[in-house]
Structure 1
Amino acid sequence: MTILHSTQEDLDSIFKIYDDATEYQKKQTINYWKGFERSLVKKEIDEKRQYKIMADDEIACVFVINYDDPLIWKERNADPSIYIHRIATNPAFRGSSFVKQIVEWAKGHAKETGKEFIRMDTTSGNDKLNNYYFNCGFADKGIAQIGFDEELPVHYRGGSVNLFEIKL
């Protein structure tokens, strides 16, 4: 298992993984991803914030990091943090505990970049996923109500999210 920066050549594979993840979400909960703009993912790749986990010469999982997230974390965004978003696993690798591996990677990356927190969020109401995040070492930081800001992906707008955090 290797974590690498995603490349523009990975775009089709990334979107296939996102599509598969969305279909899986639809079977698990009423809150699921509503799609992402290719231009957003291209920008994340150019900014070296989109990552892939490689296993058996295949993209097994993808995720994105940010260093601020004011629309979700509001005043707590001032804390030096790394934010993990859009973890999606290739169905052939489901059950591989990639979040735990991402957390270990993020701990090192956060320390290298002077961050004190690793944070995540997920739409409210998915107890199974929430419990998985607890098992990965995250603490519950409550529920945030999200506005209709157009900068947010559609699935966030006007909803609520569970907030999770690991203090380093």
Structure 2
Amino acid sequence: MTIKNSELTDIPIIYDLYRMATAYMKSKNQVHWPEFPKDLITTEIEENRQWKLLIEDKIACIWATTLNDELIWGTKNEPSLYIHRIATNPEFRGQNLVSKIIDWANDFGKNRNLKNIRMDTVGLNKGLIGHYEKLGFTFLGANQLENTNGLPEHYQKGEVCYFQKDII
């Protein structure tokens, strides 16, 4: 298993994984992701904020990061590692890859003197809330965002659930 930054040549695979994740969300009647703008993904790659987990040179999982997330976290925003849009290749489901991402995130954050790993999800997905809690996250509650300007459209479709885990 290797974790490294995504590359521009990965964009077609990234979109395939997002489409599969979106189809899965729809099948579960959950708030689902829109088609993300290509410039968003390109910028994340160019800024080294789009990541991939490789197993035997195959992309098993992708996600994006930022160190500031004021649009979603508002006044509770603070320097943390914010993780967004984890999408797992269905061939690798059930291998507990999110725990591998969290281990990586802990090391990444520790090396940058950050205090927390933070995530959010839209909609009250009790299964996902429980999953993140099992991974050591504290569920901080849910809130409907008042201003979604600058955010992907799915943030308009439900309450945002907030999660935080101390970096140790």
2:164 is aligned with 1:165: yes
Give the corresponding residue for 2:134: 135
- The residue type paired with residue 81 of structure 1 is S
TM-score (normalizing by structure 2): 0.95
* Alignment check: 8 A CA contact 1:80 1:114 kept: no
Q: How many residues align?
A: 167
Q: Secondary structure of 2:152's partner?
A: coil
Distance 1:31 1:159 in 2: 7
- Give 1:114 deviation, angstroms: 1.5
Q: Secondary structure of 2:4's partner?
A: strand
Moved over 4 A (4+): none
RMSD: 1.1
Gaps of 5+ in 2: none
Q: Deviations over 1:98-122 (max 9, x none)?
A: 1111110000100111110100011
Give the corresponding residue for 1:67: 67
* Alignment check: 8 A CA contact 1:148 1:158 kept: no
Give the corresponding residue for 1:58: 58
Q: Deviations over 1:122-154 (max 9, x none)?
A: 112211111111111100111121134331001
Distance 2:28 2:122 in 1: 12
Give the corresponding residue for 2:43: 43
State the identity %. Answer: 40
Distance 2:25 2:89 in 1: 13
- Give 1:158 deviation, angstroms: 5.3
- Give 1:35 deviation, angstroms: 1.4
Give the corresponding residue for 1:8: 8
Give the corresponding residue for 2:121: 122
2:152 is aligned with 1:153: yes
- The residue type paired with residue 20 of structure 2 is D
Gaps of 5+ in 1: none
Distance 1:74 1:144 in 2: 11
Distance 2:29 2:126 in 1: 10
- Give 1:156 deviation, angstroms: 0.6
Q: Secondary structure of 1:156's partner?
A: helix
